[in-house]
A and B are shown apart, each in its own frame.
Chain A
Amino acid sequence: MSQENPTRLELIGITKAYPGCVANDAVSLKVAAGEIHALLGENGAGKSTLMKMIYGVVKPDAGQVLWNNKEIAIEGPAQARALGMGMVFQHFSLFDTLTVTENIALYLSPAEYGSVSALRQRIVEVGEEYGLAINPDREVHTLSVGEQQRVEIIRCLLQDIQLLILDEPTAVLTPAEVAQLIDMLKQLARKGCSILFISHKLHEVNALCDRATILRGGKVTGSCIPSETSAGELAKLMLGDELVLDHDLPPGNAGATRLTLCDIEVRPTSQFAIHLHNINLELKAGEILGLAGVAGNGQDELVDLINGELKPDRGTLTLDDVALADCSIVARRRRGLGTVPADRVGRGSVASMSLTENQLLTGYVNHGVRHSLVNWAAVRQRAADIIGDYGVKATGPASMAGSLSGGNLQKFIIGREIEQQPKVLICFHPTWGVDVGAANHIHKELVALRDRGTAVLVISEDLDELYLLGDRLGALCGGRLSPVRPKAEVPLEQLGEWMAGAFGNAQEEVAHAH
Chain B
Amino acid sequence: MDLALLENILFATVRTGTPLLLVALGAMISERSGVLNLGQEGMILVGAACAFIAAYSADSLMLGVVIGALAGALVSLIFAFVALTLISNQVATGLALTIFGTGLSAFLGAEYVGQSIEGMTRVELPLLHKIPLIGPALFGQDLMVYLGLTLFALVFWTMRSTRLGLIIRAVGENPQVAHALGYKVLLVRYAAVLFGGAMAGLAGAYLSLSYTPMWAEGISAGRGWIALALVVFASWRTERILMGAWLFGFASILHLLLQGFGYDVPSNLLAMLPYAVTIVVLVFMMSRKGAKGLFAPRSLGQPYHPPQ
A and B interact physically = yes
Q: Is the CB of A96 within 8 A of B173?
A: yes
| CB pair B177 A77 closer than 8 Å | no
> A96 to chain B: which residues have CB within 8 Å?
173-174, 298
Interface majority SS (helix, strand, loop, mixed), chain A: loop
Kindly supply a per-residue 1/0 record for chain B positions 176-187, scoring 1 wherever the CB is within 8 Å of any chain A CB and 0 otherwise: 111111110000
What is the minimal beta-carbon distance from A229 to any residue of chain B, in angstroms? 33
The answer, yes or no, to whether A281 is at the interface (CB within 8 Å) is no
A97 touches which of B173, B180, B183 (Cβ 8 Å): B173
Q: Are A98 and B182 in contact (CB under 8 A)?
A: no
Residue B255 lies at the interface, judged by CB distance under 8 Å to chain A: no
Which listed residue, A58, A76, A93, touches B177 by the CB 8 Å rule?
Answer: A93
Q: For the complex, is A94 an interface residue (Cβ under 8 Å from B)?
A: yes
A139 to B, closest residue via Cβ: B292
Chain B residue with Cβ nearest A80: B182
A106 with B181: CB separation less than 8 A: yes
B307 lies within 8 A of chain A by Cβ: yes
Residue A134 is within 8 A (CB to CB) of chain B in the complex: no
In Å, the complex CA distance between A406 and B206 comes to 54
Assess the A106–B180 pair: CB atoms within 8 A. Answer: no
Q: Which of B163, B173, B174 contacts A105 (CB 8 A)?
A: B163
**Given the complex of chains A and B, what is the CA–CA distance between A18 and B308 in angstroms?**
10
Alpha-carbon distance A95/B167, docked complex (angstroms): 11
Q: Is the CB of B170 within 8 A of A98?
A: yes
- Specify which of B163, B166, B181, B298 is in contact with A77 (CB 8 Å cutoff): B181
Q: Does chain A have a CB within 8 A of B169?
A: yes
The answer to whether B298 and A97 touch across the interface, beta carbons within 8 angstroms, is yes
Q: B81 on the interface (CB 8 Å rule)?
A: no
Contact A106 B170 (CB under 8 A): yes
Bound-state CA distance A97–B174 (Å) is 10
Contact indicator B307/A107 (Cβ below 8 Å):
no
A351 to B290, CA, bound (A): 27
Contact with A along B12-51 (1 / 0, CB 8 A): 0000000000000000000000000000000000000000
Answer whether A93 and B181 are a contact pair too, CB < 8 Å, given A57-B307, A98-B173.
yes
Interface size class on chain A is 20 to 34
- Name the one of A18, A58, A81, A102 contacting B182, with C-beta atoms under 8 angstroms: A81
B181 smallest CB distance to A (angstroms): 6
Q: Mark A74-98, 1 if CB is under 8 A from B, else 0.
A: 0011100100000001000111111
Interface residue B107 (Cβ < 8 Å from any Cβ of A): no
Q: Which of B169, B180, B307 contacts A98 (CB 8 A)?
A: B169
Interface range on chain B (Cβ under 8 Å from partner): 20 to 34
User: Are the C-beta atoms of A97 and B182 separated by less than 8 Å?
Assistant: no
Q: Is B295 an interface residue (CB 8 A)?
A: yes
> Which residues on A sit within 8 Å (CB–CB) of B176?
93
Instruction: Give min CB distance, B175 to chain A, whole Å.
Output: 10
CB contacts (< 8 Å) of A504 on chain B: these are none
> How far is B306's CA from A76's CA once the two chains are assembled, in angstroms?
13
> By the criterion CB–CB under 8 Å, are A95 and B170 in contact?
yes
- Give A31 to B247 CA distance when docked, in angstroms: 63
Tell me if B180 and A58 are in contact (CB < 8 A): no
Whole-angstrom distance between the Cβ of B301 and the nearest chain A Cβ: 15
Q: Shortest CB–CB separation between residue A156 and chain B, in angstroms? A: 12
Contact A89 B180 (CB under 8 A): yes
Report Cα–Cα, A89/B176, bound state, in Å: 12
Q: Is A114 an interface residue (CB 8 A)?
A: no
Q: Could you tell me the distance in whole angstroms from the C-beta of A24 to the nearest C-beta in chain B? A: 14
Chain B residues within an 8 Å CB radius of A81: 182
Chain A CB count within 10 A is highest, among B166, B169, B181, for: B181
The answer to the question of A110 belonging to the interface, with a C-beta cut-off of 8 Å to chain B, is: yes
State A467–B173 Cα separation when bound (angstroms): 42
Q: Say whether B182 contacts A76, CB under 8 Å.
A: yes
Cα-based distance from A57 to B181 in the complex (angstroms): 9
Q: How far is the CA of A60 from the CA of B98 in the complex (A)?
A: 42
Q: A76-B182, A78-B182 are in contact. Are A95 and B163 (CB under 8 A)?
A: no
Closest beta carbon of chain A to B193's beta carbon, Å:
21
Contact B166 A105 (CB under 8 A): yes
B308 touches A57 (CB 8 A): no
Q: Given A57-B307, A58-B308, A93-B181 in contact, is the A110-B174 Cβ separation under 8 Å?
A: no
A93 to B179, CA, bound (A): 10
Q: B72 to nearest A CB, angstroms? A: 29
Distance in angstroms between the alpha carbons of A59 and B306 in the assembled complex: 13
Question: Which residues in A have their C-beta under 8 angstroms from that of B181?
Answer: 77-78, 93, 106-107
Instruction: Give the residues in chain A near B308, CB-CB below 8 Å.
Output: 18, 58-59
Q: Once bound together, how far apart are the Cα atoms of A110 and B163, in whole Å?
A: 8
> Which residues on the B side are within 8 Å of A105 (C-beta)?
163, 166
Q: Which residues of B sit under 8 angstroms from A77, Cβ to Cβ?
A: 180-182
How many Å from the CB of B141 to the closest CB on chain A?
36
A94 to B290, CA, bound (A): 21
Q: How near does chain B come to A318, taking the closest CB pair, in angstroms?
A: 33
For B183, the closest partner residue in chain A by CB is: A106
- A97 touching B295 by the CB < 8 A rule? yes
Report A104-127 CB contacts with B as 1/0, cut-off 8 Å. 011100100000000000000000
Chain B residue numbers with a CB within 8 Å of A89 are 180
Q: In the assembled complex, which residues on chain A have CB atoms less than 8 Å from the CB atom of B170? A: 95, 98, 106
User: Contacts A96-B298, A106-B166, A110-B163 known; A57 to B173 CB distance under 8 Å?
Assistant: no
A98 to B173, CA, bound (A): 9
Closest chain-B Cβ to A160's Cβ sits at a distance in Å of: 17
User: Chain B residues with Cβ under 8 A from A76's Cβ?
Assistant: 182
CB distance from A73 to the nearest CB of B (A): 15
Q: Which residues of A contact B290 (CB under 8 A)?
A: 270
Contacts A98-B170, A102-B166 given; does A93 touch B180 at CB 8 Å: yes
Quote the shortest CB–CB distance from A402 to chain B (angstroms): 12
Q: Enumerate B149-180 residues with CB–CB distance to A below 8 Å.
A: 163, 166-167, 169-170, 173-174, 176-180
Residues of A within 8 Å of B178, CB to CB, are 95, 106
| Residues of chain B contacted by A107 (CB below 8 angstroms) | 181
Bound: A89/B295 CA distance, A = 26
Determine the distance from Cα of A444 to Cα of B308 in the docked complex, in whole angstroms.
Answer: 39
Whose C-beta in chain B lies nearest to the C-beta of A94? B177
Sampled A-B contacts (20; CB under 8 Å): A57-B307, A58-B307, A76-B182, A77-B181, A77-B182, A78-B182, A81-B182, A89-B180, A93-B174, A93-B176, A94-B177, A95-B169, A95-B170, A95-B178, A97-B173, A97-B298, A98-B166, A98-B169, A107-B181, A270-B290
- Extra contacts, 16 of them, besides A105-B163, A106-B167, A110-B163 (Cβ < 8 A), are A18-B308, A57-B307, A77-B182, A89-B180, A93-B174, A93-B180, A95-B169, A95-B174, A95-B177, A96-B298, A102-B166, A106-B170, A106-B178, A106-B181, A107-B181, A270-B290
Top-5 shortest CB links A-B: A78-B182, A93-B177, A77-B182, A95-B173, A93-B180
Which B residues contact A (CB, under 8 angstroms)?
163, 166-167, 169-170, 173-174, 176-183, 290, 295, 298, 307-308
User: What residues of chain A have their CB less than 8 Å away from a CB belonging to chain B?
Assistant: 18, 57-59, 76-78, 81, 89, 93-98, 102, 105-107, 110, 270
